[in-house]
Amino acid sequence: MPITLNENLPAYRILSKEGVMVMSPGRAATQDIRPLRIGLLNLMPKKIQTENQFARVIGATPLQIDFQLIRMSDHESRNTAADHMESFYRSFREVEATGEKFDGLVITGAPIEHLDFDQVTYWDELARVFEWTRTHVHSTFGVCWGGMAMAWHFHGLPKHILDRKAFGCFSHQNLDPASHYLRGFSDEVMVPVSRWTEVRQEDVDARPALTTLLSSPEVGPCLLADAERRGLYVFNHFEYDNTTLKDEYDRDIEAGKPVDVPLNYFPENDPSRLPPNRWRSHAHLLYGNWINEIYQTTVYDMSRIGEE
């Protein structure tokens, strides 16, 4: 089954070329199927790149997905054309006003790790988003800073500033092979990491509502499950393309910033060589398992989401 995307969205063309099944809203409306409604609250500066990455992994399941793009209401994107935002995004304020509900919501990261949560200009609205998910979203997936922000809001889980950026590809251990979210996962998983902050296992252990599913001895917890809220918090980047870390490295070098070569990423640690993708299969497994878990547990009548 396909993912439903506006046929003018760049991801529609890109994913079609990659062999991902995509469908226009008009075509989807002719099918007698109740698609899963998955929203993407995109907090990243490069909106189009992020759309493509998440549409790719979310659209690779056998289920039909109605993919909706959402932005913060009063935060203006400086890195994405205004006409793109106007054409393909709705503000959270608009979504909230309609009363519509979602089977799933992904909340992305944002390059604002150095700030305390309450110093973020749109924190009050984002906290309102988190509260809104209690009654309007069946399952929520927070990614990198978005996951840290959710875990802080719901559980007071602190983030800690690192002395050096965690940057590269790191091996993670599968701590709960029986988890529905880790079906098909190997015992060890390579995951791209790019962050200046971390959460610590001792802080997670002090919060019984949270379970660590994946963790690395080098960069700490990666994936937490919040069973009561049907929530997942991932602090690393399964969704990244082959060259995303390279692009970040090249950007920092060009800007004259002190930056280490991402670990375990370039062949023989040589930035002139193209890096291989060693995480793609687990990225599809993770998001496919999340989508399947939603499908198995959500209600057919979407008006009842939040009542389960």
Catalytic residue annotation: 144, 237, 239
Burial of 189 (0-12, 13-18, 19+ CB in 10 A): buried
Q: Taking a C-beta distance cutoff of 8 angstroms, is the pair 51, 40 a contact?
A: yes
Q: Taking a C-beta distance cutoff of 8 angstroms, is the pair 3, 14 a contact?
A: no
How far apart (Å, rounded) are the C-alpha atoms in residues 274 and 249?
A: 13
How far apart (Å, rounded) are the C-alpha atoms in residues 145 and 129?
A: 15
Which residues lie below 8 Å from residue 265, measured CB to CB, with a gap of 6+? 168, 169, 192, 245, 246, 275
Q: Of 156, 140, 117, which Cα lies nearest the Cα of 39?
A: 140
How far apart (Å, rounded) are the C-alpha atoms in residues 204 and 158?
A: 9
Which two structure tokens, joined as six digits, stand for 165?
């950026």
How far apart (Å, rounded) are the C-alpha atoms in residues 141 and 287?
A: 10
3 state SS of 141: strand
